[in-house]
Amino acid sequence: MMKFIKNYMTSIEGIEIYPIISLSIFFVFFVLLFWWVLTAKKDYIRKVSRFPLDNQENE
pTM, to two decimals: 0.60
Cα 57 to its chain centre, rounded Å, is 33
- The answer to whether position 3 is within a domain reads no
Q: Residue 57's pLDDT band (boundaries 50, 70, 90)?
A: low
- The answer to whether position 59 is within a domain reads yes
pLDDT (0 to 100) of residue 59: 54
pLDDT (0 to 100) of residue 56: 63
Run of H or E including 43: helix 42-49
- The answer to whether position 13 is within a domain reads no
pLDDT (tens digit, 9 = 90+) per residue, 2-55? Answer: 777 778 777 888 888 999 999 999 999 999 999 999 999 999 888 888 887 776
- The answer to whether position 56 is within a domain reads yes
- Enclosing domain of residue 45: 19-59
CA gap 45, 40 in Å, rounded: 7
Task: Tell me how many domains the chain contains.
Answer: 1
